[in-house]
Chains A and B, each alone.
Chain A
Amino acid sequence: MKLAILLLLWQASPVNVRAYDTPNDAGGSITVTWGLDTTWAVSKIEIYRTQDPNVPDTLIETLFKVETQFQDLGVVDKTPYYYRVQIYQGDSLIAEGKTTQPAISTAQWFNSRRLSVLIILIFYTAFLIYFIMRARVDKNLFIRKIAGLEAIDEAVGRSTEMGRPILYVMGLGFISDIPTVASLAILKRVAYKAAEYEADVIVPCYDPIVMVAAQETVKEGYIEAGRPDLYKESNIYYLTSDQFGYAAGVDGIMMRQRPGAVFLQGYFYAESLILAETGHSIGAIQISGTTAVTQLPFFIASTDYTLIGEEMYAASAYLSRDALSLGTIKGEDYIKMVLVIIIFIGSLMETFGIGNHMLVNFFNIF
C-alpha cells in the first residue's frame, strides 16, 4: 500500500504553488495560487498548511471545483505559514506542490487598487474647492434653467387655486442615500411655497428616520415663510416599509385626497410607474426626479416635468441660489468637460488602434 502511494506521489506532476500576503487588505489573509494543466480532469484540490516546515502539515480546505487560487482567512498576522497543494483526478493524486518560501500576512496602509479613484477624487475636490472660493468673489455664476425646478412654484400655486393639498413622495430611499438628502432640499422649497399660499403638504414616508427629517424640513420651510402656525406635523407621517404596501398606500392617498400637485422626488424602484400613472389619472400636475436610471423613462413618460439624475442633486444649490453651492455645480460642469475630452481621446485611440503609448497607460489606471 505504502509503495503504491509512494509510486503515485512519484508520478504526480509538480505544481507551481505560491503563497503570499493578500494585497490591499486589512490583514488576516494569505493568498495561495497554483497552476493547473488543461488536460487534467480535476475532481478535488486539497490545501495543507503548517507553521513549521519540520512538522507535518494539516488539511485546511478541500475544493471540489477547478480553482487556481485560495484565500486563507484563518491566519494570524506576522506569523509565517507554509502551504502544500494536492490535486486529484478521481481518487488518484495527479499533482502536488509545496511552497518554498513562508508567507506572512500583514495589513496594508493603502489600497493601491484604488489609486485611480484617489487621483480622480483629489483632482475633482480641488476643482470644486477652487470654484467654491471663486463663488465667494463672483456672486453671479450662471447656471442654466432647470424646467422641473422652475415649475415648482407653478405646481404649488395651481394646487392651491384648486383648493387641493400637495402630495410629496420621497420614494424608498433612506436618509443615508444622497437622493433622499437632495429630495429634502426640494421639499423645503415646496413647504416654503405651500406656506406662502397657505396650502397643505402631505408627506407619507417609507422610513421613520426620513419621516423625522421631513418633519423638520417642512417645519423649517413654514418658519422661513413666516407661517409656523400653518405647519401640521400630522401631515408628515410614516406609512410602511414595504415596497408595494407603500405604493398602495400612496395610491390610496392620491385617490381619496386628490392632490393638485404630486412631487415624486427621491429613489424609486418598480413602484415608480404605479405612483406616476395614478397621479396622472387624477389630473395632478406632477414633478418627478430620481437618480434611478431604470426608472427615469417611466417618469419621463408619465409626469409633466422630470429632474434627470444630477439635476436633482443640483436642486438645493439652484433653489437656494447660495453662491458656495452654485460654485460646486460650476466645478462639476468643468470636470464633466474634462471627462468628455478624456473619453473622446480614449475613444479615438481605441478606434484607431493606437497602442503602447503613454496615454494608453494613463487610461489603463482608470
Chain B
Amino acid sequence: MKKEIPLAITFISGFLLVLALFIPHKPFGNLEEIFNDWYIIVSGFTMLLGIDSLLGYNFGKIRRKEKDAPYALILILSFFLTLLWGVIEIIRTPEHNPFSPSSTFSRYFYNSIFVPLQSTMFAILSFFIASAAYRAFRAKEFNSALLLVSAVIVMLGRIPLGQGAAPYVITIIFLIFAWYFYSEAVGITETRIKLIYILVAILFVVLIYPIGWVYLRQHIPSFSDWLMNVPQMAGKRGIMIGIALGGIAMSIRIILGIERTYMK
C-alpha cells in the first residue's frame, strides 16, 4: 500500500488534469487552478522544512568549527536579524506589512542590500560570457570555425557600427583562413593535396572583395537576421519538438506509474 496509494493519486491527478485540458465545463474546467492552489498551500508549509534544513546545516558547521563557519554565522545572524526586524515592525505598526514594498524595513533591506547583491551576481555573467565565448569560438576544428564566423556575422549585423566594420573584419578573418591553409600547405608533401590547400588559400583572398566589400557591406544586417531566423531557428525548433515529445512521453510514464524515481 505504501507504493500503491501514491501511484493511484498520481494516476488520478494526472488523468484529471489531462481531461481538464479538453473539458471547460465544471468541475473539470477549473481543476488546474484548484490543483495549483493546493500546491501553493503545500509548498508554503514546506518552506518551514527548508528553513529547518538551512539553519540545521549552518548550525552544524559552527558546532563542528568548520573552516567556513564564519559564513554560516553571518547567514544565521542575517536570518534572525531580518526576522526580528520584521516582527518589531509588525508590533510597532500592526497595520503595516513589513514585507510590502512601501515598508521602511523592506525598502531599506531590498534597495540597499538585496538589489546590489543581485546586480553584482548578474554582472558577473558578462565576464563569464566572454570567457565561455573565447573557449567556444577558438577555431580548432571546422565546427568551431563555422561557429566563429557565424557569431562574428551575427554580432556585426546587430551593432550600429557593424555595417561599416564588416568589410574590415571579414578581410581579417579571410586572411587568417588563407594564411592557415597556406601554412598547412607548406608542411604537406603530396603535390595534389598541397595544390588544393594553396587553391583554397587563394580562394579566400579572392573572395575578400566580393563577399566582404560588396555583399556583406550592404547586406550584413539582413544576412545576420537570416542566420538567426533560418538555420538557427530550424535547429532550435528541432530541439523544442524533441523536448515537447519527450515531455509528453515522460508525463505518460509518470501517470502510468512506469517512472517512479520521485517516490521512495
Q: A interface vs B, CB < 8 Å?
A: 24-27, 107-111, 114, 117-118, 121, 124-125, 128, 132, 174-176, 178, 181-182, 184-185, 188, 205, 207-209, 211-213, 216-217, 219-220, 234, 237-245, 247-248, 252, 256, 270-271, 273-274, 276-277, 291, 293, 296, 298, 300-302, 308-310, 312-314, 316-317, 322, 324-325, 328-329, 331-332, 335-336, 339
Contact = CB atoms under 8 A, between A and B. Distances in A.
B264 interface: yes
B240 A248 contact: no
B30 A324 contact: no
B129 A273 contact: yes
B136 to A, nearest CB: 4
Q: Classify chain B's interface size.
A: 35 or more
Contacts of A26: 24-26, 29-30
Contacts of A217: 261-262
A352 to B, nearest CB: 19
B193 interface: no
B53 A211 contact: yes
B262 A310 contact: no
B259 A316 contact: yes
B262 A213 contact: yes
Nearest to A313: B246
Given A217-B261, A293-B236, A332-B246, A181 B125 contact: no
In the complex, the 8 A-B pairs of residues with the closest C-beta atoms, listed nearest first: A310-B246, A208-B50, A313-B246, A26-B29, A238-B50, A244-B121, A301-B136, A310-B242
Q: Is chain B's binding surface mostly helix, strand, loop or mixed? A: helix
B22 A208 contact: no
B9 interface: no
Interface in B48-71: 48-51, 53-54, 56-57, 60, 67-68, 71
B129 to A, nearest CB: 6
Interface stretch (B95-103, B163-171, B213-221, B249-257): B249-257
Given A185-B259, A316-B261, A270 B122 contact: yes
A309 B25 contact: no
A121 B193 CA distance: 55
Interface string B219-257: 000000000000000001001111101111111111010
26 contacts: A107-B26, A109-B23, A110-B23, A128-B252, A178-B247, A181-B262, A182-B250, A188-B261, A209-B46, A211-B49, A217-B261, A219-B264, A220-B264, A234-B56, A238-B51, A239-B54, A252-B71, A271-B121, A273-B125, A277-B132, A312-B246, A316-B253, A324-B258, A325-B259, A332-B245, A336-B242
B249 A332 contact: yes
Name the residue among B46, B49, B121, B240 with the largest chain A CB count within 10 angstroms.
B121
Name the residue among A216, A256, A309, A322 with the largest chain B CB count within 10 angstroms.
A309
Contact of A238 (B54, B71, B131): B54
A181 B261 contact: yes
B189 interface: no
Contacts of B26: 26-27, 107
